[in-house]
Amino acid sequence: MVSTDSGTASRRRLPLPRPAPRPAGQPLHPPPRRPSGGAVVGCGVYVDGHRVPDVDPRDALRVARERDGFVWLGLHEPTETEFAPIAEEYGLHPLAVEDAVYAHQRPKVDQYDDGLFMVLKTAKYIEHEQLTATSEVVDTGEVMVFLGPHHVITVRHGQHGGLAELRARLDDQADLLCHGPSAVLYAVADQVVDAFVEVAASVEEDVDELEASVFSPQRTDDVPRLYQLKRELMQLRRAVTPLDLPLHALAERQVEGVPDAMRSYFRDVQDHTLRVRDQVAALDELLSSILQASLARTSLSDNEDMRKISAWAGIVAVPTAIAGIYGMNFRHMPELEWPFGYPLVLLVMAVSCGLLWRAFKRTGWL
């Protein structure tokens, strides 16, 4: 089993062509159509970087061994029954097979005999008109990759992160595929990390919107939305942060099945991963700061409300006290028989309230 340590990454331009910007509302990676009656969504044999046409999936491994090539077999959420014959034919380790079938694994890379097994978390940003306290922002899935001398098997879980588009692009990249199955592993990891970049950028827009709302002049209750976005961001963080160690192992160590020529490619993916990891960590810290500011602003608003209530209670207390005194119905009270007594009392009440209102206004209580 390959152990993983942290390390710095060098930067290199990616050889893969980037897809054109997707229209608004279109899924990031549309899932391929799954053939009825099986988990296999793609199969191809590659020799010297070129795909061999018209190869029956049942003969793919034999053809790859005879012609010194490799098979790329794609599966989507296979059951244990569906995966059992494939695992037996390709000689996959039972522990790795169990992880691939039941999913919910942490990003990692393990080596079994002459085979390599890697787990990657995928992520997708869920579009929404307005962020609410129950909005689902980040959806995660998994891609498992089995690597062998003559095969690479990708097992995908989730309704996003499809590899059909990637397979089509790689068919035109013979100079990359000639490096063998590890080239497919690199391309899959590169696509996963590119998706992280897009998701992080979209989440950053939500954070900016919440920040503007918290510090706007209007009084808004943003605490539930902040908690929800922070929870959704945690899913992205769990997908990105652990990926650094497996990529470091592939980029810096001698791993069987990964030629030296591919290390620089994995260093590039690791560099992108580190940048996304730092961006996600910064967004998480910013959300924490915004949350504290929102709570402080809510507390300040409550204090202002209490001061206003207290000020008005003090103003109302003056006429209430005067009215209470004259309502005791004693026979001998000041100015009780005077014709102008009643208007005078009303005037005293009004002047007293006016002076109190002016005093509270100057002190900022009203």
Per-residue pLDDT of the chain (366 residues; tens, 9 = 90+): 444 443 333 333 344 444 444 443 443 334 344 433 368 888 999 999 899 998 888 899 999 999 999 999 999 999 999 999 999 999 999 999 999 999 888 999 998 887 899 999 999 999 988 888 888 999 999 999 999 999 999 999 988 878 889 999 998 899 999 999 999 999 999 999 999 999 999 999 999 998 888 887 777 778 888 889 999 999 999 999 999 999 998 988 778 778 888 999 999 999 999 999 999 999 999 999 888 888 777 776 666 767 778 778 887 887 888 777 777 776 666 666 677 777 777 887 888 888 888 887 787 777
Give strand pairing partners of 216: none
Mark whether 194 and 124 lie in a shared domain.
Answer: yes
Contact between residue 31 and residue 274 where contact means Cβ atoms under 8 Å apart: no
Domain that holds residue 210: 40-297
Alpha-carbon span 95 to 287, nearest angstrom: 39
Number of domains in the chain: 2
Mean pLDDT of the chain: 82
At 151, which CATH number? 3.30.460.20
Q: Can you tell me which residue has the tokens 């046409």?
A: 53
Residue 208 lies inside a defined structural domain of this protein: yes
Q: What is the per-residue pLDDT across 263-295, written as a single tens digit (0 to 9) for each?
A: 999 999 999 999 999 999 999 999 998 888 887
- 91: number of Cβ within 10 Å: 14
Mark whether 103 and 190 lie in a shared domain.
Answer: yes
Q: What is the per-residue pLDDT across 91-101, written as a single tens digit (0 to 9) for each?
A: 999 999 999 99
Mark whether 200 and 347 lie in a shared domain.
Answer: no
Residue 57 lies inside a defined structural domain of this protein: yes
Residue 30 lies inside a defined structural domain of this protein: no
At 323, which CATH number? 1.20.58.340
Report phi then psi at 50, rounded to 5.
-115, 145
Residue 167 lies inside a defined structural domain of this protein: yes
Residue 18 lies inside a defined structural domain of this protein: no
Residue 32 lies inside a defined structural domain of this protein: no
Alpha-carbon span 176 to 173, nearest angstrom: 5
Mark whether 169 and 101 lie in a shared domain.
Answer: yes
- 260: number of Cβ within 10 Å: 7
Mark whether 244 and 349 lie in a shared domain.
Answer: no
Alpha-carbon span 181 to 145, nearest angstrom: 10
The pLDDT of residue 86: 92
Residue 25 lies inside a defined structural domain of this protein: no
Report phi then psi at 112, rounded to 5.
-125, 115
Query: What SS3 string covers 268-317?
Result: HHHHHHHHHHHHHHHHHHHHHHHHHHHHHHHHHHHHHHHHHHHHHHHHHH
Mark whether 355 and 252 lie in a shared domain.
Answer: no
